[in-house]
């Protein structure tokens, strides 16, 4: 798979899904959150769900550890973070971001990615599910709907 960044937008605007779906109601209430990205900045943003075999769920951080550490060491990796589901102890969610399409391509072509393709599936109950987008920003934005007073 070749990752290609989209054309550069003059003033990109990112709106969260909830705000988009709620549309007019939220805009009227004045609580729609959005953020302006650094002009011309794009990143590859990926969220993947991993359903791990029950017998491997508690040790998944160690099983995925070498892959995680190697990926975090890539120059184009912005973050690579695992979380465990509160509802299903066998499900882990991976949130990862890469600087651009070239960094994403380097990741999937790396030796540690190829190794993970061999070493991780035996510990999985199902093929992971993924959401993968190129988005017009280069870091996290603050969640305005839950703003903490004084945290500017």
Return the residue matching tokens 């951080």: 61
What pLDDT is attached to residue 136? 94
User: Is 23's pLDDT higher than 70?
Assistant: no
Tokens of 19: 């705000």
What pLDDT is attached to residue 12? 40
* Helix/strand/coil (H/E/C) assignment for every residue in 24-82: HHHHHHCCCCEEECCCCCCEEEEEEEEEECHHHCCCHHHHCHHHHHHHHCCCCEEEEEE
Domain residue extents for the chain: 8-40, 41-138
What are the tens digits of pLDDT across the range 24-35? Answer: 333 333 333 333
User: Is 42's pLDDT higher than 80?
Assistant: yes
> Does residue 137 contact residue 109 with C-beta atoms inside 8 Å?
no
Looking at the domain that runs over 41-138, which CATH code has it been given? 3.30.70.100
What is the rounded CA–CA span in Å between residue 63 and residue 56?
A: 8
pLDDT band at 39 (very low <50, low <70, confident <90, very high): low
User: Is 118's pLDDT higher than 60?
Assistant: yes
What pLDDT is attached to residue 41? 84
């Amino acid at each position: 798979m070749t990752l290609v960044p989209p054309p550069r937008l003059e003033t990109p605007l990112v709106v969260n899904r909830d705000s988009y779906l709620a549309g007019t109601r939220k805009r009227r209430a004045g609580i729609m959150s959005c953020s302006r990205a650094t002009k011309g900045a794009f990143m590859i943003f990926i969220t993947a769900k991993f359903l791990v075999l029950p017998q491997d769920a508690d040790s998944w951080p160690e099983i995925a550890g070498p892959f995680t550490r190697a990926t975090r060491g890539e120059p184009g990796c912005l973050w690579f973070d695992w979380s465990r589901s509160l509802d299903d102890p066998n499900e882990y969610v991976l949130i990862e971001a890469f600087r651009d399409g070239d960094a994403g391509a380097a990741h999937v072509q790396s030796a540690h990615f190829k190794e993970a393709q061999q070493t991780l599936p035996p510990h999985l109950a199902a093929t992971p599910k993924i959401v993968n987008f190129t988005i017009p920003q280069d870091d996290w934005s603050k969640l305005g709907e839950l703003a903490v007073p004084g945290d500017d």
